[in-house]
Amino acid sequence: MSPEKIKVRVTETGQILDVVVLSKRAGAIQVVLGEGIHNVKCDLTPTRNGLAYAGSVAGRELVYERSRDQVAADLDIRNATLHDPRRR
C-alpha cells in the first residue's frame, strides 16, 4: 500500500510541497517532510475559521487548503470503504 500524500503550500514563498501523511483526523493532520534521516514531522491543526490547516516547521508556515468539513468527509468515505462487509 502506498503512503497517502497531500499538497501543502509554504506561505512565505508560495511553493507547493508533496508531503506524506502519518495520521489524519479532523482535529489534526500529522505529516512528514523530507526523506530518510533528514525528515521532519509537522502537526497541521485547523485554523480558527476552519477553512484550512496550518503548521510550522523550522520557522516556515505550511498550509493545507482544505476545510475541516472536507477532511472529515474524506475520512468518512475512506472508513466506510475499509469497513464495508464482504458478501459471501
C-alpha to C-alpha distance for 3 and 72, rounded to whole angstroms? 19
Q: How far is CA 12 from CA 9, 31, 70, 86, in A?
A: 9, 19, 25, 48
The mean pLDDT of 1-6, rounded to a whole number, is 85
Does the pLDDT of residue 86 top 80, yes or no?
Answer: no
Domains in the chain: boundaries: 5-82
pLDDT tens digits, one per residue of 21-79 = 999 999 999 999 998 899 999 999 999 999 999 999 999 999 999 999 999 988 888 77
The answer, yes or no, to whether residue 82 has pLDDT greater than 80, is no
User: What pLDDT was estimated at residue 2?
Assistant: 80
Residue 21 backbone dihedrals phi, psi, to 5 degrees: -90, 125
pLDDT at position 1 is: 65
